[in-house]
A and B are shown apart, each in its own frame.
Chain A
Amino acid sequence: MTIRRAGEHALLVETGSLEAAHRLDALLRADRPEHVEEIVPGQETVLVVAPDADQGRLESRLAGLLASVTDAGAARDEAGAARDEAGAARDEAGAAAGVVEIPVVYDGDDLDSVAALTGLTVAEVIALHAGSEFVVGWLGFAPGFAYLIGLDPRLHVPRLDAPRTSVPPGSVAIAGPYSAVYPSASPGGWRLLGRTDVRVWDVSADPPAKLPPGTRVRFLP
């Protein structure tokens, strides 16, 4: 766990895990340090951009928070081991309430190629994709494009050799260890499993992205 300088105006906090990155992201958003312009979670990092901040003071503050998110994670794991049934039930109820459900019509152009690559039937591909709970790791590639973590390892397939020049918005796709919903029409090399009417990106909405980092997601066939 380290805090690295990313130029004069930003610090890159290495959290060691996605979960700790999300906890740090949540803490910083709930109690935003002065002058912080951007908080950008990554797979094992949080980038904090603050051109007008005293970088030394910000670094001390981040070091304190980093210790708390990594300790809190450890403490929670220990507590989890000893957790009683009532606590577990409460957590499950809470989990169900916080999941964004995305209805999908599984008729994507790449269902057959994914089935061929994985040795599964199309029905099994759909069942595995719809049977997993995902969490939004981070966004990138395009506004609102969320990298969804939690794809069953049996569905890990490479990108297309030749990307499509245009993938329609709402396309539900997989590539490598990730799944995603295309937020807008764009070129794309991920394999298409289906489509949804859910708009994951809308500049007139607040917030404009339906799937910010840390959001849990399920696909409904």
Chain B
Amino acid sequence: MIEIVSPGPYATVQDLGRPGYAHLGVPRSGAADAPSLRLANRLVGNPESAAGIELTFGGAVLRFGDNAWIALTGAPCPLDADRRPTGMCAPVWIPQGGTLRVGTPREGLRTYVAVRGGIGVEPVLGSRSTDSLSGLGPPPLRPGTVLPVGGAGPSAAIRVDSAVQGPFSSCPPVRIVLGPRADWFAPDAVAALRAGPYEVATEINRVGVRLRGAALERARGGEIPSEGMTLGAVQVPPDGRPIVFLADHPTTGGYPVIGVVTARDLPLVAQLRPGDRLWFRPVPGVRT
């Protein structure tokens, strides 16, 4: 088991979420930066879908009740594993009773902790993820929370000493496929979106990232008849300031979506901090 001595500013258990229930109003949820969670799991020989811990702005202290192999990925933080400095993106051995201290990230926002065997909290609708919008899954971690280890399914041998992950830019270009409701906007709205940059506002969470920048003017008023929303959708409320939807986004909505961020680039958005900037780059939809 793992005892949360301190969760830092905000920490939750996350796996790859609970897809398949959107028609019942259930957000997908899951790691906001899914590739980082997958990498952390691979490093300790877990299936990629195992549950780990998603830290927001680092700052956590975890105590391990048993021997454990762990790995941290995502926003790079100074790490102290059982009183020894250690690195990101590598399997790390923690002896029984050992403590992991995670500092403040140099760049990026969300850091993932995988433990060999996975975090074994009870799944809800097939997932162990905390859904911050609906409250499904375990509550956010608090000092004193105890997390069981296990349940991840068969582990593979640990074969890698370390991995490399990309830099976490504070001003990335972000590719976006226009639509489905780009036609609800004035002709110069797409030009404004492209011209950028947009700055990340202070209102950011697992539901979405609110942006500040040129307001995107509508060509038509009113609300769209309620329609399904998708991961990465850039929804534009009446004030014209776009919101990029992350993992806990609502399943339906009535504000028009001017475009959808590509799956490759959405994890970059999930790693932005307030005050960071991004440039939208419209691309044609890729036929996969």
Contact = CB atoms under 8 A, between A and B. Distances in A.
Interface secondary structure of A, over-half rule: loop
Nearest to A54: B288
B286 A8 contact: yes
Interface string A21-55: 00001000000000001111111111101011111
A142 B19 contact: no
B21 interface: yes
B196 to A, nearest CB: 19
B25 A142 contact: yes
B125 interface: yes
Contacts, number: 133
B26 interface: yes
B244 to A, nearest CB: 12
Contacts of A5: 177, 179-180, 285
Interface residues of B, number: 40
A170 interface: no
Residue among A43, A142, A183, A209 facing the most chain B CB atoms (10 A cut-off): A142
Interface of B: 19-26, 28, 124-125, 134-136, 177, 179-181, 225-230, 232-233, 250-253, 257, 259-263, 285-288
Most buried by A among B22, B23, B135, B257: B23
Contacts of A140: 25, 226, 250-253
Contact of A41 (B19, B124, B228, B263): B228
Contacts of B257: 6
Interface in A120-159: 137-147
A207 interface: yes
A174 interface: no
Contacts of A39: 23
B233 A7 contact: yes
Nearest to A145: B25
A212 interface: yes
B232 A7 contact: yes
Contacts of B226: 42-43, 137-138, 140, 147
Interface residues of A, number: 46
7 contacts: A7-B260, A9-B230, A38-B228, A39-B23, A41-B228, A49-B22, A54-B287
A213 interface: yes
B225 A43 contact: yes
B124 A203 contact: yes
A48 to B, nearest CB: 9
A142 B125 CA distance: 15
A8 B177 contact: yes
A6 B233 contact: yes
A21 to B, nearest CB: 9
Contacts of A37: 19-20
B263 A9 contact: yes
A49 B19 CA distance: 10
Contacts of B260: 6-8, 10
A105 to B, nearest CB: 25
B252 A142 contact: no
7 nearest CB pairs, A to B: A47-B228, A7-B260, A40-B228, A140-B252, A43-B225, A42-B227, A139-B25
A49 B228 CA distance: 10
Nearest to A184: B135
B23 to A, nearest CB: 5
A55 B230 contact: no
Nearest to A45: B227
Given A10-B230, A37-B19, A208-B125, A42 B252 contact: yes
Contacts of A9: 230, 263, 288
A4 B251 contact: no
A169 to B, nearest CB: 12
A111 interface: no
Contacts of A38: 19-20, 22-23, 28, 228
A100 to B, nearest CB: 15
Contact of A144 (B25, B180, B229, B287): B25
Given A140-B252, A203-B125, A209 B24 contact: yes
A56 B228 CA distance: 20
B262 A7 contact: yes
Contacts of B177: 5, 7-8
A56 B286 CA distance: 10
A42 B25 contact: no
Contacts of B179: 4-7
Given A6-B230, A7-B233, A144 B24 contact: yes
